[in-house]
Amino acid sequence: MKNKRINTKDLVDKIEKMTKARIASQDVVELDQFREAKRKLDPKVILVIEDDETMRLALKRILEGEGYVTKLAADATELSTTLDDQAVDLILTDVGLPWINGFELAQLLKEHRDLKKIPLVFISGKASEEDMRKAFEIGADDYIKKPFDVEKLKKTVQTLLKLNP
């Protein structure tokens, strides 16, 4: 028996419409309640480019725990399908990627007319002054050294998404 793909778009649309109507009908909505509902109805999309599967899945778990939609790529070759699906709001990338390293990839992304304004954060075990300087020259918004503090990562992502709505 084949699994039939279930289209839930109409259900999701109805739930979103009802939620918005109920929020709008309240006399006063606390700002935090509004932000939480907005985050759930319009989640930000974060692209994680990381060749280490364990790290890639850990980042996915952390970010999705914060309510973000996470798209994953192991290297630059996987980006064509990943970037075609849905707009991306922030990119996290490793430096030590196979074939095309993170610096080269970031340079390509920053030169692309549709991708250059997307905030970019390097997450890498390589954190010499030269590596960090190079990252910021390319246009990185931050550079986080592995192993990283999970709370610092969350705060960085949150701040960059607020600055780039």
The model's pLDDT over 7-16, given as tens digits with 9 standing for 90+, comes to 666 777 777 7
Contact status, residue 152 vs residue 143, Cβ threshold 8 Å: no
Which pLDDT band holds residue 126 (cuts at 50, 70, 90)?
confident
For the entire predicted model, the pTM comes to 0.73
Q: In terms of pLDDT, which residue wins out, 112 or 80?
A: 112
Q: Which CATH architecture has domain 43-163?
A: 3-Layer(aba) Sandwich (3.40)
Q: Which residues pair with 70 in a beta bridge?
A: 46
Give CA 84 to chain center in angstroms.
Answer: 15
Residue 50 burial (C-beta neighbours within 10 Å; 0-12, 13-18, 19+): buried
